[in-house]
Structure formats: structure tokens, C-alpha cells
Chains A and B, each alone.
Chain A
Amino acid sequence: MRRWGYCHVITPLVESMDVLDLGLGAEQRRRLFKFTDMRGDVVALVGERTVPVARLVAGKLRAAALPLRLCYAGPVLSTDEGRFEHRRETYQVGAELIGASGPVADAEVIALAARCMEATGIRRYQIDVGHAEFFHGIMDAVKLPDEVKAAMREALVARDFVTLEALLEDTPLESAEHELLLRFPALRGGPEILDAAGGLVRNRRSEQALAELAQVRELLVAHGIGDVVNLDLGAIRDFDYYTGVIFEGYGPDFGRPVAQGGRYDSLLEKFGRPAPATGFMIQLDLVSEMLRHALPRIDAAIAWAEGGLATALRLGATLRLFGMRAVVDTEARSEAAARTWWHAIGGANLVHCRGEGAVAWIAEGQRARMLPPEQVAARLAGGAA
């Protein structure tokens, strides 16, 4: 994130409830671990890090010119164990771009999220991009009593399409908007769905959302991530919080999104410094779980016998300079014992150092070769490049 000019900020794990009250909805507040501090004030362990960052921007960083590019990493907690895949605590890395509106800023944050997912080592991933205003526009356009609309919102947020369908069936009106709501989970695909949806919606808010999505998509192609981006008009998120482009990142064969983000233009004004904002977070513990079976392989296991330790340490340092993963053994071993150790820790190569001179190099599935250490380093690093 540093390469994108995002400045790392550290926000506290324990926040005053007065601060969190400003930024969070009732449901989010309910899920916080709360207790009192020595003065008797109610404090809580943060359940997300965007609100603390917003407070920072409106407080300590008040004099800093916008836009601000900030990032953070830290644990967040929730009393509702289902919230974070049946654990109370999760580790989040995220970024916020505050003070910039429009598709260019939206696309920057989505591209950054994509690059971060890539950097974690996930090989195949995809990002679904939607727009909160598309939904708001439809809800505006549907002509129904407020209480029916409230029930529809509730059903949609609970992803209960059976109830939604029943509510819509009870209404005499038939409209393209009804049709769209019922097909919500299937409203995704490439740029062609923008046209398809554009033919169905008849309200300014939704049309504007579709136009913005088209721009964001084009920008993401320019960012070089067009092939991992899908458009998802049926993305269901916290619609009271998000005000514009929203997105989710998915890894292969994992039942939950590992990254989430979007535009939230109304949060900062609650802290007295109105500003448009967009951001995202990645749940690192979910990512590491996804990569459990794909841990980085060790490139070189370096063992040593009496008199070979200095050579082994030098070789390890050289290989790491070339970006390779090298592990130097912690005790002296014979070559036969070294082979056993090598198989136990895994690794593409075993190098056994016995003294200043030649070392034994064994690549997986090949027989040992005696070479000077610098030649082994050159061959290993050359192969890696």
C-alpha cells in the first residue's frame, strides 16, 4: 500500500462508546464487546476500523489537506460469533481514500484491493463490483406503502427472496422494478448487464449508478485488472451505510468474501468534517485459512557439518538477497541425516556444507553434485529468475 501512497495509521483497539455511537448502526453497536474504564465511561473493542479512522481524519488530522490516503492493520472483535466465520476475532488490513469522490477514486481503491489480494498469495480471485444507489433508486421507484418497503428491505438484507417474492405478489402493481428485485441474486456478469439493466430501470438514481459503474469498469481495465472484475448489480450490503460503488473480493472455492469495500460519503460529516470517502478491508485470517494448503515452499534447505556453518550462513544470506526462501539448519548433521531433515521440512533443494570449499547440492529427484558455494548460489538464483 505504501507504493500507492497510503500512509499507515494506528488506531486504538479500545474506543469510547461516544465515538462509536456516532458512526455505527444499532445492530453493529449491539455486537461490540463493551466494558467500563476506570472513570466509569463505557468503552468497547472496535468491531471495524473505518469509524476510528474517520474520527482521526476529523480530529487529529483535521489540518491535513484532503484527499487523505490512509491504511491500517489490526484485530477487530465481534460478540456475534457468526459474524466473522464463527470466531470472535479477526485480523483486518484495510485502506481508506478520504476526500475524493467519483469513479476515479472508486477505481483506485478497487484496484488497490485487487493488488493486496494478489500480494497475499491468492492465485485465483475475483472482484464483484456493484452500486448501492442502484438499489436505492429501485426502492424509490417502487410505488408501495412505506411499511411494505421496510419489510422488503429487511427481507433483501436477510437475503430472503421467498419473503420478498411473497411481498411483491401481494401488491397489484407489476413493474420492471419488481422484476429486477426478484432477479437480484442473478444480476451479475460483464458490461452487457449494464445495458440489460439500463433497459429495465426508469429512475434517475439507478441510471446514474449504472453510468458510474460503466466508468469504473473501464478504469479498472486501464488499471490492468479488467479480467478479474465482474459487475454485480444484486450485491447486498449494508445499504444504510454505503452510498455508492460497493465491491467484494472472492477467492477460489471459499464460501465467503475475503475482501469488502465501498463508498460511504455520509460517515465523515457525523464527525464534523463532511467529506466523500471510499475504502476496503481484507480479512487476513480468512486468507491465511484459504492458503493453508498452499504455504510458500522453501527454495533451499541448507544443512551443515562441522566447519561448514559459516559457509552455510553466507549461502543463506546470498540466496535471500535474490528473493529465495532459504532455511539454515540449527545443528550439525551428516549428509544422510541432512536428507532426513530436508524431507521433514520440505524444499526444492538441499545444500550440505562441509567446509570452506565445495558443497553438496541436491535438487529434488537428482543426484548430489559437488560445487563451490558461489556456483550453487548462481544456479539456484538463476533458476529462480
Chain B
Amino acid sequence: MTRDERVSIAVPTGALHAGALALLADSGLASLSADELGRQLLIDRDSVRVILVRPADVPAYVDHGAADLGIVGKDILWETPGAHYELVDLRFGGCRLVLAVPDGSGVDGPDTWPPLMRVATKYPRTASSWFESRGQAVEVVRLHGSVELAPLVGLVDGIVDLTATGRTLKENRLRIAAVLGASTARLIANQASLKTRSGPVQTAVARLREASGHAG
């Protein structure tokens, strides 16, 4: 099979990894084990090439055309808007992006927000535009991990972070003050792939769409 007919799909490591592989198997496009892909990073099957990349890198691979399609959380797309098409809500990997504050904090609804709110987050773009659209001055501290720690040591008033079950927040004595948005896994496509190789790409999209529980 030539490059022209094979559809390449970028699959993320991390929280969405297992769900993405299950979806690929359900759609009949490729049946792979996590071990196999973890070892090789790039696997060619009959009609698809599967590439394993870090979650935040999926849009880059797709936007530059190194992958025709990508499976990625909506939370990543909020942070890195690009020229790709967001085609299907794949309906797994559900979680919420929330504003969380220490249990004892007086911060709750917008009327209780301080004149200048300080928040720590891995999602600076989404967080600042959300606060700005509500007329709230905000100072965003960009962190790369263990965001929950920041309010406990007095670095910030609260955090903006993803949560699926709320357990990590609870363990760190944080409570949810506001929900910024809901995220699930999405299927994105390179804009040129949809035009120049539309046959095989649209077929793959249709199969993934069906496997994710959408009608026809």
C-alpha cells in the first residue's frame, strides 16, 4: 500500500491512550497492543499508520501534515488552536476544566473573586481568556506539574486544572468554585489531507465516528 492510500493517525500517550487504542480496534482500522506501540512508536497496518506522540504534540503533527488524523483531548485544543478540522467528539476521556480553591477559601462565585485573581495552571491561554471574558483581572502562573500544590503554599488564590473524578482535588483539600469547560477526546484532521486524499481519510473518519457511538 502506498503512502497515498494509507491514512496516518496520531495517538496520544497518557490518559487517552487506552481509549484511543480501543477505538481504533472497534473501528476495525488497527488492532494494536499498548506494549507493541510503546516499543515501536510507529506501526504500519494495512490501511493505516499509527504514530504514538505526547498528548500536547498531537495538534502539531496534524497541522503540519505529518499525520492525517489525530486523537486528542479538547483541553489540548483549547490551548493550541490551529488550522486543523475538529471533526468528531469521540465521547471518551471525559473530564472538566475547573477553577479549584482551598477548602477554607472565601472564593466562590464571581462576586467573591478578588480584584486581581492569581491562578496557577497548565492551561494559561484558556484560563486567561475565560477570566478576561468575564471582566476579571487575572494573573496566570504557568506550571508544568503538581498544580494542586500552588494554592496550599500560598503561591496563588486557586488553580485551573482538569479533573475527571475530583479525587486529586479532594486529597489536596481543594474544592471546585467554577467549571470552565468540559473536555472529551476529539478527532482532528489535517486541512490538506481532507482535500488531497479525501477518499481514504473520509473513510477512516466515518469508521471512527461510528465506533465512537455516533449514528451512521
Contact = CB atoms under 8 A, between A and B. Distances in A.
Contacts of B198: 186, 188
B189 A185 contact: yes
Given A159-B191, A257-B192, A185 B83 contact: no
Nearest to A255: B65
A325 B187 CA distance: 48
B88 A254 contact: no
Interface in A199-250: 230, 232, 248, 250
Given A126-B196, A250-B192, A255 B86 contact: no
Contact of A250 (B64, B89, B196): B196
Contact of B195 (A128, A158, A162): A128
Contacts of A126: 195-196
Contacts, number: 61
Nearest to A124: B196
Interface in B60-109: 63-66, 74, 81-89
B136 interface: no
Interface string B177-197: 000000000100111111110
Nearest to A162: B89
A162 B64 contact: no
B61 to A, nearest CB: 10
A160 B63 CA distance: 14
B186 A162 contact: yes
A256 B191 contact: yes
Interface string A104-130: 000000000000000000000010100
Given A126-B195, A250-B195, A255 B3 contact: no
Nearest to B90: A162
Contacts of B186: 162
A84 to B, nearest CB: 11
B202 interface: yes
B192 A255 contact: yes
Nearest to B65: A255
Contact of B88 (A128, A162, A248, A255): A162
Interface string B49-66: 000000000000001111
A230 B197 CA distance: 12
Nearest to B62: A255
A254 B65 contact: yes
A172 interface: no
Contacts of B196: 126, 250, 252-253
Contacts of B63: 255
B190 A255 contact: yes
A162 B87 contact: yes
A82 B196 CA distance: 22
A52 B6 CA distance: 44
Given A253-B65, A255-B63, A255-B65, A161 B195 contact: no
Contacts of A250: 192, 195-196
A159 B84 contact: yes
A230 B196 CA distance: 10
Q: Is the interface of B mostly helix, strand, loop or mixed?
A: mixed
A165 B89 CA distance: 9
Interface size band for A: 20 to 34
Nearest to B188: A159
Interface size band for B: 20 to 34
A122 to B, nearest CB: 12
B126 to A, nearest CB: 14
A160 B65 contact: no
A256 B83 CA distance: 9
A51 to B, nearest CB: 22
B86 A253 contact: no
B69 to A, nearest CB: 12
B29 to A, nearest CB: 18
A205 B81 CA distance: 32
A160 B195 contact: no
A161 B192 contact: no
A253 B193 CA distance: 8
A299 B3 CA distance: 31
Contacts of B192: 250, 254-257
Nearest to B77: A160
A252 B81 CA distance: 24
Interface in A327-349: none
Contacts of B191: 159, 255-257
A250 B192 CA distance: 7
Contacts of B82: 82
Contacts of A252: 196
A166 B74 CA distance: 14
Nearest to B84: A159
Contact of B85 (A159, A163, A166): A159
A253 B195 CA distance: 11
B3 to A, nearest CB: 7
Interface in B188-216: 189-196, 198, 202
A299 B150 CA distance: 66
A232 B193 contact: no
Interface of B: 3, 63-66, 74, 81-89, 186, 189-196, 198, 202
6 contacts: A126-B195, A128-B195, A159-B86, A160-B86, A163-B86, A256-B65
Given A159-B86, A232-B195, A248-B195, 12 more contacts: A82-B82, A158-B81, A161-B85, A161-B88, A162-B87, A166-B89, A186-B198, A250-B192, A255-B190, A255-B192, A255-B193, A257-B195
Nearest 6 CB-CB pairings of A with B: A255-B65, A159-B85, A162-B89, A160-B86, A255-B192, A250-B196
